[in-house]
Amino acid sequence: MGNASQLEKDVENEEWLKDLQENRILDFSRKVTHSQFLKHIQQEYTEASLSDLPWSILENVNLYQHVNGSFNNISHLSTNLALRIPHLTHLNFSYNSLTEIPSSIALLFHLKELLLRENQLICLPEEMCLLPKLEMLDVSFNQLQSLPKGIGKLQKLSKLNVSHNYLSSIPSSLGLNPHLFVLVANNNMCTNPPQDVCNNSDQLLVYLREHAPEVLTFRQLNHFPRIRSNVARSQLDDDVRTQNVASYVQTLTQTSKPASRAKTPLLFPSHGTKCSPDDLRDKIIGLIYGTVLGDTLGVATEYLMTDEINFYYGGGRLDHHSIVQDEHRSHFPRGKTTCLLIFDSILRWSGVLDELELARRLIDYSSKGLKDLNGEPLITSSVVNRLLCHERFSIDPHAVASETAKLFDEAICEDLHALPMAIMSGLPQFYNLTEVQSNATRVCRTTHNHERVIKSTSLLASIIALILQGCEMDNIKEVVTNQNLVESEFYYSGNLAYEENNGMKDELANVLSAALHCLEEKEPHFETTLTNILFLGGQSRIYGAVCGGILGCRSGYAHMPARWLEGMHPSVTEWLNERLNHLLDMMGLP
């Protein structure tokens, strides 16, 4: 395998092999002179350089604790390395040609020192953050563009060298590590923290500890009552759930009892997301619950004056039980929500979003309400109510909506009820941005067939899809900007204050401004950010549903405030949990 013949000859020398085994050290590094070193870093490799690990190391389980393979030309590590050398404590593959590290490295439970200096690594697997005893990590002189989000979980890590890469940020979670005392990050392209700060280890550690995210204890996390119906438990053991999505999907499709495609119509491709299966599940549940929380809590502040909002709900008093009753709020019993029609449609039609189906469901809802949720139907959109009165709406909703849009003209942009449906449109086929935007457009044209509203719904659906794909926030903003989904002159502002457009409030622009604001913070706090948005008043149910969905998708269900979740009406929670379990089954998620 590779050009490992020289090492194979050495291994045949029993005395040499015995000596290594007694000392539990395996050293097949090359010793180089200065001139050889200069050639090596210019990728001028000699014939003596190994291009792969020899079979003699990997064909049997052994007890090596120290392995040094530096100054070779090894381009990849076997996924079986952790199984063949399970007791490794020190691993040095510096000065090689590694382009990736297998996720199975997480199985090296005893590893304390990992040296990967001067390779060609572009990214590190998130699974590396599961190494419980890692104390020293050197990934300097690579091509890293980002570090794993969970790198702060390496609580034994005391020395980290990420210098001479292409990093734009250093994860603030490293500030939670009390043992980290050396962090070398010079010669990068950091903007957060600024590169000037990153050039000094002490200054960088102080900065990260000042900006460290809030620590949530195990008891503070929410746990969704997952009930699987179509996948055997043996296929989804906890160790599988620590894999990346590619490995997880491969597990689903290669087991002796793979999930039926009829039962998993929303199974996504292995390259569809960078999120782990558990993280993706948490984001999806957070998306749905966040949308509902924003909608139901938005009732509390809708159309109230700022002083009234602060009087009734200031000081952390905002919850479902403290909603002040008046003529407007009496229409909304606790937990009542109208933003779930499209979610229910996604489930019933296996991810297909069809305008005729949506029109039919709107008509049914207007007379019967939402199935399995008792209560009178309530549609507060003047545009939708007008459409429901048209006899051709069930036959050709796009045409009827187009006629209505021409009648309302720009006034239709002030009716924002198409926006929460756009949030849900980003869920099916989230891995295909073109399909997501097509779905959002089709849904929007069913009720609000106006170019500005259509463009706005495409923006919101794209944001959700990109979050589910595991994209960084800067990348999301870049994508929506490059696709001309954001028109800066009336869409984006740097704060949450209402924008003025020719002396008049532009509600559509304000909602989109608030939605983009939800992408600004590196680690958003769901309750704080959503409260600030709801305190804007106005059409706060719409603001809440849109921004709650985005924030919930970013932070995940586990990090939502428990008191808000517990304040939802039990019938709504039961309804959501039943359908979310069905959705996760359809997607093949744990």
59 within 8 A of 82, measured Cβ to Cβ: no
d(CA 581, CA 574): 11
In one-letter notation, the amino acid at residue 531 is T
Cis peptide before 269 (omega within 30 of 0): no
User: In the chain, helix, strand, coil percent, each to 5?
Assistant: 50, 5, 45
Please give the Cα distance from 253 to 354 (Å, whole number): 29
Helix (H, G, I), strand (E, B) or coil at 366: helix
β-strands 504-505, 159-161: how paired? unpaired
Q: Which of 499, 417, 485 is nearest to 456 (CA)?
A: 485
Does the annotation flag 338 for ligand binding? yes
Rounded distance, CA 276 to CA 240, Å?
A: 10
Task: Answer yes or no: are the C-beta atoms of 295 and 565 closer than 8 Å.
Answer: no
Beta carbons of 162 and 188 less than 8 angstroms apart = yes
CA separation for the pair 529, 533 (Å, rounded):
6
Residues listed for the chain: 590
Contacts for 79 with CB less than 8 Å, ≥ 6 apart: 102, 104
Which amino acids are annotated as binding site for Mg(2+), given as ranges? 338
Q: Which residues are annotated as a binding site?
A: 338
